[in-house]
Chains A and B, each alone.
Chain A
């Protein structure tokens, strides 16, 4: 029995372990990471339009650097460097910060596209009404820009979902981590890792249907 390629008994044995241990962590990492990415991304997008040239250039350089280098290395960077500064986060928190930071640079580009897609007449009207700059952003520009970037942001959340298994390298037990642990314990990887693959397929596919629905509702900037 043990030597056969596929063992249904074992499959159903490890299924609850993989789902029970991993699913919640994967979802937590994705949701918290997305929240950081969406908020920080907006901040970065606004800073890139700062009237001060130095701020624009520095923010641009930071975004390019983070975007052109591997998330895995950034995770290691935070994981090993935080303690040097006396910051003691658990592995999941560190991982969520890394995910959020990395995807904030993508989100910044999305927001930028959304802001640029707001017709110039809106800016001119706000100026004509002599609205203060802050009110122009909060009451005029962002309410028009943000709904249309939601599908694009949703796509990045799906990408993030598929990158959460990177956190297993710093000891976070997500779906892939739970599958790997279950496999190591029994020296049988076929079933647990296949379960992990199926779970990701189901999660990302259903999320993509959600994004498609969102796209139909609000339109898209791209």
Chain B
């Protein structure tokens, strides 16, 4: 029954690198966009706020599959050249989850107590200084747990790149294994699921470290390391939906 186990594991792990690349690429873009548009939604200028809001609503309001199809099949027609599947996938993951992340950043910045703003103004810090040295470091601590959820969600979303022929883990299993070993499909898919589970746990471990460091930086006592599984248990993994705050 488990004769082909090593074949299955090795074939799936051939897609591991692409899954990791897509996830990390997506995380980098999503994080940058989260901060850019999250802060833009708090901007003084109405135009900036409206533009940021439009980005967030469009990318949260449409389906990730549709976005993938659009970037991969439609955009090349509009701009005139073909996009590498992996790049298209990373861009969609980044844009999609960046929209959810922008809401996280906005919420965290707004949750910093009003007195912190007033204190910074009283010390006559410039607006840039106020944000960088006072508000953001405190908001950062609040952001880490929801970003942990978001990144796990993004990891799960990377499986969708199968649709645009990125040879990541799900694609490897489906095209490389299930066709020829249909009778052992349950085993193959279980292996794939376990790979994703391990990656999700890894993300949680990294984010716990980030959370402790962020808490130390603002002089708060970091929470004890504790049980990673318990952190997983606390997380919700589904970002909020459009228009609902």
Contacts and interface: CB of A to CB of B under 8 A. Distances in A.
Contacts of B77: 5, 189-190
A84 B241 CA distance: 37
Nearest to B188: A80
Contacts of B183: 84
29 contacts: A5-B78, A64-B232, A65-B197, A68-B232, A69-B156, A69-B197, A70-B158, A70-B193, A72-B159, A72-B170, A73-B173, A76-B170, A77-B193, A80-B186, A81-B189, A106-B237, A165-B63, A176-B63, A179-B66, A189-B69, A189-B74, A189-B77, A193-B69, A193-B73, A194-B70, A196-B66, A200-B63, A205-B57, A208-B243
B150 interface: no
Interface of A: 5, 60, 64-65, 67-74, 76-77, 80-81, 84, 106, 109, 151, 155-156, 158-159, 161-166, 168-169, 175-176, 179-180, 183, 189-190, 193-194, 196-197, 200-201, 204-205, 208-209, 211-212, 215
Given A69-B156, A159-B241, A165-B63, 9 more contacts: A60-B233, A68-B200, A70-B160, A80-B185, A161-B63, A165-B66, A179-B66, A179-B69, A189-B74
Contacts of A69: 156, 193, 196-197, 200
Interface of B is mostly: helix
B197 A156 contact: no
A68 B173 CA distance: 18
Interface of A is mostly: helix
Q: Which 6 A-B pairs have the closest CB atoms?
A: A80-B185, A165-B65, A70-B159, A208-B243, A189-B73, A77-B189
Interface in B59-94: 60-67, 69-70, 73-74, 77-78
Contacts of B160: 70, 72, 166
Interface residues of B, number: 52
A212 B244 contact: yes
Given A74-B193, A76-B189, A200 B78 contact: no
Nearest to B67: A197
Given A109-B236, A193-B73, A200 B243 contact: no
Contacts of B193: 65, 69-70, 73-74, 77
Interface in B171-221: 173-174, 178, 182-183, 185-186, 189-190, 192-193, 196-197, 200-201
A208 B237 contact: no
B152 interface: yes
Contacts of A163: 63-64
A132 to B, nearest CB: 30
A212 B232 CA distance: 28
Nearest to A207: B241
Contacts of A71: 156
Contacts of B73: 183, 189, 193
Nearest to A3: B77
Contact of A197 (B62, B190, B229): B62
B125 interface: no
B66 A80 contact: no
Nearest to B199: A68
